[in-house]
Amino acid sequence: MKILIMGAGRVGTSVAENLVSEQNDITVIDSDPSQLQYLQEHFDLRVVLGDGSQVSVLENAGAADTDLFIACAASDTANMVACKIARQLFNIPRRIARIRSAEFPEHPELMSEDGFCIDALISPERSVTTYLHSLIEFPEALQVVEFAEGRVSVVTVRVGAGSPMAHSSVDKLRDVWPDVKARVIDVLRGGRPLRAGSGTVIAPGDEVVLVVDSDHARRAVRQLRDAERAVRRVMIAGGGNIGLRLARQLAEEKYSVRIIEHDLKRCEYLATQLPDSVLVLHGSGTDEALLERENIEDMDTWLALTSDDEDNIMSSLLAKRLGARKVIALINRQAYGELMQGSHIDIAVSPSQATMSELLRHVRRGDVAAVHRLRQGVAEALEAIAHGDRSTSKVVGRPVGKISLPKGASIGALVRGEEIILPDADTVIETDDHVIVFVPSRQQMPRVEKLFQVSASFF
């Protein structure tokens, strides 16, 4: 696929890095030569210096034969204008814009062909906030993502020493939870995947990835580790867009929220935007005296959400040492996140992976309803809709056991109308089924995409 990306900032660089590894033809436009030099030195892609909202620059970048245009510059206005030019002058089939403003999605008519010609919006701040909220709602989990409009969840949990599933093989789990609709689709031990089969024995400390009926998710997770006390008290370090969004949402849901921000003017702004129940504190998340004064030891969850990885790591380590029950840190550098998660930092959240999960639904071929990155972005789970019949589709009318999935990939669940099915090898996929597929490596994704593309005779 030929993809044109406007903007080489943090979001654009992350998008380019993720998509270029999947053998896409990538071109990146930016007006900052240093950003483009970094991309050109580290990745196999083409760069163009200039303003992506200018017709001549888009033309020079090859917009005329581009399949997908992703506008993720810092300016919402520039992204919107660029999408309109991409459609009306270059007829680029699909256009995605990164939009920070919370107001724009409230007016869908602006996205139409009569407006700015935007097929989809991505908002990193919204994606990360949603992800963090799910971790607060589900304190036992390391990751929670949803499919089929929330009816199916994929949950990652670290197995506790007292779990009834510890020392049990995967094929015996139905005996442990006979009334829970769930299945193990992946097991990690020491950070490495086991390629778990039916005979794999789960050990304490393993990270288990489950696909589960969302109504049964909490019961399933509590079979893997002891139930944790519900979260009521939350302290947030960092009052940027993500901190503000999350604090507002939690306050509306009656959580007790405190937010620390080092910039005095930003504190004053936060105080005007947040409910009176939220305590806004001027200071640093690495200030030990401040944390002790604000009773950090009573906090159920600490979240470090500044734009500085080092500050987030240090403040989280300090909060944990001072008694915070669970600490979550926003960490942009993948190597840092992999190093810190599971140590004194309970969960390291990558903003780029949360954003990519939102973006990939529009990049993947076939009729894909949702995609989520798992295992620090190494694996993926996607929800694909099966179309056609046995003669036009590689999956419809075929038993699950006869579908030629890549090695290690598996079909975890089917959603058929109102029914959620955990298929066995003999379950036959029907047209319009929503199929939840686990893929252990992103490099295998093109093969999975082809399975769900119908032949030309279908049309």
Q: Which two tokens stand for residue 236?
A: 């947030």
pLDDT digit string (tens) for 80-107? Answer: 999 999 999 999 999 999 988 777 766 7
3-state secondary structure 337-387: HHHHECCCECEEECHHHHHHHHHHHHHCCCCEEEEEEEHHHCEEEEEEECC
The amino acid occupying position 61 is A
Task: In whole angstroms, give the CA distance from residue 40 to residue 53.
Answer: 21
Q: Which two tokens stand for residue 283?
A: 């200071």
Least confident stretch, 4-18, 75-89, 159-173, 286-300: 159-173
pLDDT of residue 126: 87
Rg of the chain in Å (alpha carbons): 23
Helices (H) and strands (E) in the chain, counts: 14, 22
What are the distances in angstroms from CA 432 to CA 389, 439, 459? 10, 21, 16
CATH class entry, domain 238-353: alpha beta
Mean pLDDT of the region 214-230: 75
Least confident stretch, 135-139, 179-183, 222-226: 222-226
Mean pLDDT of the region 237-253: 94
Task: In whole angstroms, give the CA distance from residue 19 to residue 27.
Answer: 11
pLDDT above 50 (res 163) = yes
pLDDT above 90 (res 457) = no
pLDDT band at 337 (very low <50, low <70, confident <90, very high): low
pLDDT digit string (tens) for 349-376? Answer: 888 777 787 787 777 766 888 888 887 7
CATH 3.30.70.1450 fits domain 140-224: yes
pLDDT of residue 228: 62
pLDDT above 70 (res 342) = no
- In the chain, list all ranges with CATH 3.40.50.720: 2-122, 238-353
> Which fold, 2-122?
Rossmann fold (3.40.50)
- In the chain, list all ranges with CATH 3.30.70.1450: 140-224, 386-458
pLDDT of residue 293: 95
pLDDT digit string (tens) for 410-435? Answer: 999 999 999 999 999 999 999 999 99
Apex 138 CA angle, 134 and 139, nearest 5: 120
Residue 14: closest CA among 119, 117, 128: 128
Spatial contact of 294 and 288, defined as CB atoms under 8 Å apart: no
pLDDT above 70 (res 186) = yes
CATH 3.30.70.1450 fits domain 386-458: yes
What's the first-to-final CA gap in the chain, in angstroms?
22
